[in-house]
Amino acid sequence: MRDVAVVGVGMTKFGEIWDKSLRDLYVEAALGAIENSGVDHIDSMIVGCMSGGLFVGQEHLGSMLADYLGIKNLPASRVESACASGGLAFRHALIEVASGMSDIVMASGVEKMNDISGDGATYALATAADQEYEVFHGATFPGLYALMAVAHIEKYGTTRDMLAAVAVKNHDNGALNPNAQYPFKITMDTVKSSVMIADPLRILDCSPITDGAAAVILTTVDIAKKLGKPYVKITGSGHATDTIALHSRDDMTTIASATVAADKAFKMAGKTIKDVDFAEVHDCFTIAEIMVMESLGLYAPGKAGEAVLKGETALDGKFPINTSGGLKSKGHPVGATGVAQIVEIYKQLTGQAENGRQLKSNPKVGLAQNMGGSGGSSLVHILEVA
């Protein structure tokens, strides 16, 4: 396989974007990535989108988005893996360039989630869970992650403060991100007194409903060098699934798909978690960040929450996590989230993170973990300074 690099990124503001359509958001991010990379064409594009049909009534996104991007006859396709759709788009773009099928590919993601009612959004998101055994009986994703949180609390003694600390830390980071949906700081007391959604998860434990798009340009390392722009190498990629329903899992306190995907990515990169300097992980709920930290092998089971409380995952900690603000503060337009994680990894590795968010540790290796549903699918990618 050929060595592959990320050579340019583009991203919209995340939030409730009332004056732009799905196609407007996509084109803004895509043109930003193309301009940032300096390429004069793309050979194909892959779009991650969880459910354009349910959110805005639009399917056939490959054709529609290539059309509005203004590139005639472009090979364009849409992939879906629930909230991991963006990560899957990135993996497919990597495979296409590495295999030699294309030289320059755009991996992208988009979702427009606020154009329907809250009930409609809840219904659309619930399609990523088991319809017959979970959703039919009233389970929503806050409810499913609440079950996981209760199991973690019962097994390891995880505390309310540990959950709150994840939210506080990510809002601290998101306050520095110009694209974040909620760029403001919060306190432990604010989190713990916010509205209860599904015990023990409160509203400030939950990622928001978000509109937004992100795009990155992948090409060979040889082409990246000729472009003369900052680039980072993709050295590891892992993809795995797990049972879609929680009741079928051996252990609800871990994300097995993340563990397997990470193992594959580390093997491909020839590295371990000890070689990684920072990570963007899928914190759709505060308990998810804690569980993913343990599932990646960064901390032993039951030890991640304490590490967050101690500040070990803060910007100035020994292993920063979600320097972008994560899904919690940056926002979670489900199809775009995995690509937005790559945008942040790229910025940190090339020294371009804005507003004092840039890590002072001079990071060389970053990891992105994106997952769908309650962990029914997971993507892990490792990127390195060239």
Which residues carry out catalysis?
A: 83, 332
Closest listed residue to residue 222, CA positions, set 90, 102, 45, 103: 103
Residue 121, C-beta contacts closer than 8 angstroms, at least 6 positions apart: 55, 113, 114, 209
Residue type, 129: A
* Stretch (H or E) spanning 365: strand 365-372
Name the E strands within 142-221.
Answer: 196-198, 201-202, 211-220
Whether the ω angle into residue 183 lies within 30 degrees of 0, i.e. cis, is no
Count the residues in the chain.
386
Q: SS3 helix, strand, coil % of the chain, rounded to 5?
A: 40, 20, 40
Cα-Cα-Cα-Cα torsion 346, 352, 357, 363, nearest 10 degrees, comes to: 60
Q: Could you tell me where the DSSP H helices lie in 157-220?
A: 160-174, 188-193
E strand spans, 242-333: 278-280
Residue 135 backbone dihedrals phi, psi, to 5 degrees? -65, -40
Q: How far apart are CA 130 and CA 350, in angstroms?
A: 40
Q: Are 355 and 183 in contact (CB under 8 A)?
A: no
Amino acid in position 50: M
Determine the Cα–Cα distance for residues 267 and 64; give it in Å rounded to an integer.
38
Residue type, 325: G
List the Cα angle 301/371/175 in 5-degree steps. 85
Distance in angstroms (rounded) separating the CA atoms of residues 351 and 235: 19
Residue pair 313/293 in contact (Cβ under 8 Å)? The answer is yes
Tokens linked to 305 = 């929450």
